[in-house]
Structure 1
Amino acid sequence: MNKQINDKNEYKNNVKSYQPKPPYLANCLKAFIVGGFICAIGQVISNFYIYFFNFTEQTAGNPTVATLILFAALLTGMGVYDKIGQFAGAGSAVPVTGFANSITSAALEHKSEGVVLGIATNLFKLAGAVIVFGVVAAYIVGMVRLLFEKLL
């Protein structure tokens, strides 16, 4: 048994020397640039709603997020957002557009199974967990805040 473990460790050490080193700095830079660009687009959309529709900075947030989600869903449907995701990694996955991409991708992947059994049942597989944990986290934060307000 000991020989087998030593052989596995030798193999891992031998393979390590042949594996390419991941370009961490380049990946971080790409994620930063693409994520920042998505945020800049969001700011342009927000300014558009403020300037043309007389929203305030606070009230422009919801339609801005909805517009970003719509754009990301359309780009996912056209196959463009997946290419952006392959290039940028987390830079495209972390903003709300990544969430829209995950929902739309699940729906597109299962569309051949029909509207109800394909799209509707698989649409929120990933998003459902995110929504549940978001609601639970918001509840916990709200209760902690209420507790601190009562104590102070």
Structure 2
Amino acid sequence: MASSKDEQQQFAQKIKPLQPKPPLVKNCVKAFLTGGLICIIGQALMEFYMTFFNFTDKTAGNPTVATLILIASLLTGLGVYDKIGQFAGAGSVVPVTGFANAVTSAALEHRSEGLVLGVATNLFKLAGAVIVFGAVAAYILGMLRYAFATFM
């Protein structure tokens, strides 16, 4: 068994110089620009809600996030967000839109299994873990803040 592992390591060492080098700078620039564009769209939406619907800075965030989630979900359903992700890599994983893409992708992937057992069951596989972690982290940080505010 050990010889097989040694052979694999030797093979990996032999082919390493032959493998193409990824264009790291180019990929970073594409990710930065795409993520920045998503953020610019979010800021434009926020300005739109503040200008035309008289929201304040604090209250314009909720409809902005909801609109970004809707847009990302629609683009995922149409297959466009996957192309954006292939182009931008990590730049398309801006928290709100990336999360909407992940949830919508899971739902679409299992739609052939039915609405309840397919979509509903698999919809929250990723989202459930993120929501639970976020709630637990918020609770812990809230308790720490309360403790520091009370006792210090």
What TM-score range do you get, normalising by the shorter chain? Answer: over 0.9
1:31-110, aligned counterparts within 5 Å?
31-110=31-110
Could you list the per-position Cα deviations for residues 17-48 of structure 1 after superposition, in whole angstroms to 9, with x for gaps in the alignment?
A: 11111111111111100000000000000000
Structure 2 length-normalised TM: 0.94
Gaps of 5+ in 1: none
Could you list the per-position Cα deviations for residues 99-143 of structure 1 after superposition, in whole angstroms to 9, with x for gaps in the alignment?
A: 000111111111111111111111111111111101111111111
Retained in 2: the 8 A contact 1:73–1:100? yes
Retained in 1: the 8 A contact 2:38–2:94? no
Gaps of 5+ in 2: none
Structure 1 residue runs of 4+, over 3 Å off?
A: 1-9
Amino acid at match of 1:79: G
User: Identity of counterpart residues, as a percentage?
Assistant: 67
1:13 partner SS: helix
For residue 24 of structure 2, what is the aligned residue in structure 1?
24
The count of residues paired between Structure 1 and Structure 2 equals 152
